[in-house]
Structure 1
Amino acid sequence: MNPVDVADYAEHAKATLAGDVLGYLDGGSGAEWTLRENTAAYRRIRLRPRVLVDVGSVDTAVDLLGSSLAAPLGVAPMAYHALVHPEAELATVKATGAAGALFVASMFASTGLVRMAQAATGPLWMQLYWLRDRGALLELVGRVEQAGYRALVLTVDAPKVARRARDLRSGFTLPPHVRAVNLDAELMAASHVAEAGVSAIERHSRERFDPTITWSDLGWLRERTRLPLVLKGILAGEDARLAAENGVDAVVVSNHGGRQLDGVPAAVDALAEVVDAVAGRLPVLVDGGVRRGTDVLKALALGAATVLVGRPVLWGLAHSGAAGAEHVLRLLREELEEAMALCGRPTTVEVDRSVLG
């Protein structure tokens, strides 16, 4: 059967991916309450349609930090696409460009940043974790700039990687053929060392991530790059205001897909607080739990400028490579167009909180 929605791609991934890989991709931290809430929260939000509106033409296009997108969609940063398909990020970035969406590459991509840039036909951002080795961090930033990426996305909700039971049970370790090729092999060595009952990913983060960074460190990075800086992992209005005050160019409301602190709100439930706090001073993006075009519409109504999609894109990649990843994004765009028409909102600028019931 050909997939007709994101759920079909999810079922295929569950049936075909290796157990430890599926656990790593689909799992969350703690009791996985926040993981479940990310999707459940969207189901609790109701839409309030208007009728007798001319929706003969529906325009989903948006502008984001100087880039035009065919729809307010992007691919969230996710490590190691090679875990699910041999063409890895090269396929995903091609699919994203074909869909007219934003691609946010992970610091731990399994494809070279220059190869991704050469394959991209749409805007390309790079996600970073703050490494203890600032020299390695800056060296990567320099290569990112030279390759033509348009923004840096600093993940700020992971001073350490949280306990993820599925990874602990499987002793998840990267296979030899899957590597973070944009970083020195010595920096990544711990992620390839297997130990029963230990997540190699979590152990690697303890060794390499700097848990001491504060708001004052952002200035150090801003002085050393010309690229816009986006903070990913914001859930509190106070932090959103601090981001604006510290010259950040955009924020992403995110709980890391339910993979960090368990018990925090669903990303969409924190969205309005962050949007209100920044009061239009910078764009607010959101990720986590998006499975349908109606979810995208609800996020836009709450003030999101663009919605980032994570696991569904990898499910599509696992199914049929670039074609599957593109189809996932195309499905979400088509479902968004339909939802906008049925709600009487023919353009994204007409989508506001009055859409919600």
Structure 2
Amino acid sequence: MDLKEIRATAREKLKGFCRVCPVCDGRACAGEVPGMGGVGTGKAFQENLRALSRYKLNLRTIHGVKEPDLSFELFGVKVSMPVFAAPITGTTYNMGGALTDEEYSLAVVEGSLLAGTLAFTGDGADPTMYGSGLKAIKKVEGKGIPIIKPRAQEEIIKRIREAEETGAIAVGVDIDGAGLLTMALKGQPVSPKTLEEVMEIVNSTRLPFILKGIMTPDEAELAVQAGAKAIVVSNHGGRTLDETPGAADVLPEIAARVKGKITILADGGVRSGVDVLKLLALGADGVLIGRPIIVAAFGGGAEGVKIYLEKIKKELREAMLLTGVARVTEVPGTIIRKEQ
């Protein structure tokens, strides 16, 4: 099995829902929500890639880096690289149903582990979707991170308790899912949270807590104040609010405000190991990848996810070698330059 075969198989299984474009940039699927696209004009999805493309790497080869160190630790768990599968559900109404949510979650969780890293699992309009991720995490003895939609307080805390029972290494809420169209269509209310509500959720568990969907420095500071251990800088793949900036454009100002106070993860438009290195240079500690993982899982199951993530790892290593970066935990901002 190789990436070409994986993509060909995925194209068949995702027919009518994802075109498996040569570059997954959101242009062909603009407005397709439910589906794989970005909401409205699709510009928020597309801007994630544009924002990353505006940064270039400075090629440097006169240095002493011979074998870059890609290893990383998240909440005490050592991984092969700071790259994780993003939380995704809705395989039936967003992806055509060739894989069930349970099959998809297991493929992503197991495939990520085969590549030496971890997967985040998601929550959705059908209550069984969250359970599918928990089953997969339980099967691998807790080596995964469930993310919950911003539901009513009692519903979130109930799901946190379920996450704790699986032995998950952390838990979180994708607060950027507050306006999800698919949740509204299925009668599952979600909403923004006050700082007090966030604090109540964070304090309800001893697990490290992650707030996904932070796009401004002030909300990053509120996450720190609430006691969260990590944030994910993300516009939810452009699926909730149209016309938002790309994650790469807001990441530097967020990092300037909270770097060192909280773990900073970033999610949006990552398509290569070069993109991973750019986000690390912009201030992220780690990176999440979404839609390409869907293609890998539909095209090759756990093995497909492993093959795709190993490609990312190889590209990241090469980019580090050619920019003089010795360790992923120490990526200087000087390796990138922004186009004028």
1:117-156 per-position Cα deviation (integer Å, ceiling 9, x unaligned): 2433784111011223x44332221121011012122111
**Residues in 2 aligned to 1:90 and 1:111: alpha-carbon distance in whole angstroms:** 11
1:198-245 per-position Cα deviation (integer Å, ceiling 9, x unaligned): xx54412xx322425311102222332111111111110111111112
1:69 equivalenced with 2:89 (yes/no): no
Check the 8 A contact 1:35/1:258 in 2, yes or no: yes
- Code of the aligned partner of 2:167: G
Of residues 123, 129, 138, the one that matches 2:149 is 129
Give the number of aligned pairs: 314
> 1:1-357 maps to which residues of 2 (within 5 A)?
2-3=2-3, 13-14=10-11, 16-20=13-17, 23=32, 24-81=34-91, 83-85=97-99, 87-108=103-124, 109=129, 112-120=132-140, 123-132=143-152, 134-162=153-181, 201-204=183-186, 207-211=187-191, 213-357=193-337
TM-score after normalising by structure 1: 0.81
**Residues in 2 aligned to 1:113 and 1:159: alpha-carbon distance in whole angstroms:** 20
1:239-283 per-position Cα deviation (integer Å, ceiling 9, x unaligned): 111111221111100000011111111111111111111142011
**Residues in 2 aligned to 1:71 and 1:58: alpha-carbon distance in whole angstroms:** 11
Q: Which moved more, 1:117-126 or 1:70-79?
A: 117-126
TM-score after normalising by structure 2: 0.85
Q: Which moved more, 1:41-50 or 1:67-76?
A: 41-50
**Residues in 1 aligned to 2:184 and 2:63: alpha-carbon distance in whole angstroms:** 52
- Code of the aligned partner of 1:106: G
1:75-114 per-position Cα deviation (integer Å, ceiling 9, x unaligned): 1100135734353211111101111112111123376345
Q: Which moved more, 1:32-41 or 1:249-258?
A: 32-41
- Code of the aligned partner of 2:308: V
Check the 8 A contact 2:148/2:159 in 1, yes or no: no
Check the 8 A contact 2:122/2:148 in 1, yes or no: yes
Structure 2 unaligned residues grouped into runs of 5+:
20-31
1:138-187 per-position Cα deviation (integer Å, ceiling 9, x unaligned): 2221121011012122111232215xxxxxxxxxxxxxxxxxxxxxxxxx
- The Cα shift of 1:11 comes to 6.9
Structure 1 unaligned residues grouped into runs of 5+:
163-199
- Code of the aligned partner of 2:147: Q
**Residues in 2 aligned to 1:221 and 1:260: alpha-carbon distance in whole angstroms:** 22
Question: Bigger radius of gyration, 1 or 2?
Answer: 1
- Code of the aligned partner of 1:120: V
Identity percentage over the alignment? 31
- The Cα shift of 1:10 comes to 5.9
Check the 8 A contact 2:9/2:300 in 1, yes or no: no
Check the 8 A contact 1:129/1:209 in 2, yes or no: no
The alignment yields a C-alpha RMSD, in angstroms, of 2.3
Check the 8 A contact 1:84/1:314 in 2, yes or no: no
**Residues in 1 aligned to 2:3 and 2:65: alpha-carbon distance in whole angstroms:** 27
Check the 8 A contact 1:64/1:305 in 2, yes or no: no
